[in-house]
Amino acid sequence: MEHLPLFIKIKHRPCLVVGGGVVAARKAKVLLARGARLTLVAPQLCPELAALQSQFVWQNDVFAEHYLDEQFLVVAATDNKEVNARVYQAANSRGLLVNKADDSKRSAVIFPSIVERFPLQVAFSTGGDAPWLARLLRARLDALLPKHWGELSRVAGKLRTKVQLAFATSDERRRFWARAEDDATLNTLLQQGELANAERWLEQAITQPQTGEVILVGAGPGDPDLLTIKALNELQKAEVVLYDQLVSPEIMALIRPEAELIAVGKKAGHHSVPQDQINQLLVEQALSGKRVVRLKGGDPFMFGRGAEELETLKAAGIPFQVVPGITAAAGATAYAGIPLTHRDHAQSAIFITGHSKEDGKEPNWASLAQSRQTLVIYMGLMRSGHIQQRLIDNGLSSSTPVALIERGTTPQQRVVRGTLSELAVLAEQVVSPSLMVIGNVAALADSLAWFKPQAAQTEAQAQYA
């Protein structure tokens, strides 16, 4: 990479734009928005520049080298490549910062793509290799960044010294701002432009005791693109993360690098940390004042014991939040091309766990063995033979389609299909985590499957090798 990303204070500095068309107008707007003392050289101005003429000095002329005198930054933005080259060569020979609009590869300065929430700015560039990619990234970031963060940045700047005096360490300051950014009252004040009231709210918050908090976050079924925006924000603010084995490595990579990671290893047949110890860990970490994320695969309230953990936190007086996640029943089936409901095949869907209850009580197999419904079973591999027999015994046809979705939504996804009479045999062909789908909708995977897992992609790539 030849360009060093820098933020340069351009306010009141003399800048020159050569050109009077739409490209020159785009460059001029960026410079004027940041307070540049702008001179523009062009025989004529496009309507966009003409509307801004009061904000810059217009030299109604063709380019001459004397216009470079005492300039700090020069932009060559005419529609004539030869003129642009002459401007570039002359400015470069003087050691000036110069941008050649039609040749970013040779420019000493690149105008990056910018997402603005003044005074907050996010700038990025592909070095001229893929401008379309920079525009795509800009659009995505523009949608992600809250509109009121500019106001938050301004208010935070006014209170920076007070926060530094109130909180001795960077961790304490980060914790304070993370809690503030979460607060609905503060966000409403900022969104309504009531900056004075927002500042008073923050001044009062500085004096309040800082307590720990637990955020229960659903990581979704595996594909990091299915993580919610709120979940991603929490992973970036976490000081401690207690995570399960079902959370994919790609999602783990999104956690703030400085966060402490604690594996609690919950997975079917591999409960390396008992639930009561997990509860105690959450309480201990929160009582130490930290922002704790409890990260669970799928949705934390779908067979994830999330409610049990929150009950413990409630009893200990620890504040908490819940960030839902896409559960495997919705994510894995969608990636396998299996709709949970269909007017011609299933009017309802039932989610159950394959784990037997501690009291030994069985589910109501008669209600589960109904036709025209979809049965989705979590953690059912180890009891597949029992599930198969009980459903058949209660009247569900042995020819009912079934599907086992292994590592759904990930590049390693694999779907094994057959009938209910084959369920126990099919279960031996897959590994955990796998989702079990029983019902006529499972047969639709033949025509509706769209996701290309890694094995299929490798096979397709081999055709072009």
Mapping DSSP onto H, E and C, the string for the chain reads CCCCCCCCCCCCCEEEEECCCHHHHHHHHHHHHCCCEEEEECCCCCHHHHCCHHHCEEECCCCCHHHHCCCCEEEECCCCHHHHHHHHHHHHHCCCEEEECCCCCCCCCCCCEEEEECCEEEEECCCCCCHHHHHHHHHHHHHHCCCCHHHHHHHHHHHHHHHHHHCCCHHHHHHHHHHHHHCHHHHHHHHCCCHHHHHHHHHHHHCCCCCCEEEEEECECCCHHHCCHHHHHHHHHCCEEEECCCCCHHHHCCCCCCCEEEECCCCCCCCCCCHHHHHHHHHHHHHCCCEEEEEECECCCCCCCHHHHHHHHHHCCCCEEEECCCCHHHHHHHHCCCCCCECCCECCEEEEECCCCCCCCCCCHHHHCCCCCEEEEECCHHHHHHHHHHHHHCCCCCCCEEEEEECCCCCCCEEEEEEHHHHHHHHCCCCCCEEEEECHHHHHHHHHCCCCCHHHHHHHHHCCC
Determine which one of 27, 100, 237, 266 is catalytic.
266
Is residue 98 within 8 A of residue 107, CB to CB? The reply is yes
225 assigned to active site: no
Encode the chain (465 residues) as per-residue pLDDT tens digits. 688 889 999 999 999 999 999 999 999 999 999 999 999 999 999 999 999 999 999 999 999 999 999 999 999 999 999 999 999 999 999 999 999 987 877 788 989 899 999 899 999 888 878 888 999 999 999 998 999 999 999 999 999 999 999 999 998 999 999 999 999 999 999 999 999 999 999 999 999 988 899 999 999 999 999 999 999 999 999 999 999 988 999 999 999 999 999 999 765 555 578 999 999 999 999 999 999 999 999 999 999 899 999 999 999 999 999 999 999 999 999 999 999 999 999 999 999 998 765 566 789 999 999 999 999 999 999 999 999 999 999 999 999 999 999 999 999 999 999 999 999 999 999 998 899 999 999 999 989 999 998 755 554 444 444
Predicted pLDDT at 267 = 57
In angstroms, what CA-CA distances link 157 with 120, 153, 163, 178, 237?
11, 6, 10, 15, 20
Predicted pLDDT at 356 = 63
**Phi, psi (degrees; rounded to nearest 5) at 6:** -140, 150
Predicted pLDDT at 104 = 76
Dihedral of alpha carbons 201, 203, 207, 211, sign: positive
Q: Which of 268, 316, 141, 292 is nearest to 217 (CA)?
A: 292
Determine the Cα–Cα distance for residues 239 and 255; give it in Å rounded to an integer: 10
Predicted pLDDT at 210 = 83
Predicted pLDDT at 129 = 84
Structure token digits, residue 297:
């695969």
Determine the Cα–Cα distance for residues 230 and 90; give it in Å rounded to an integer: 50
CB atoms within 10 A of CB 41: 22
266 assigned to active site: yes
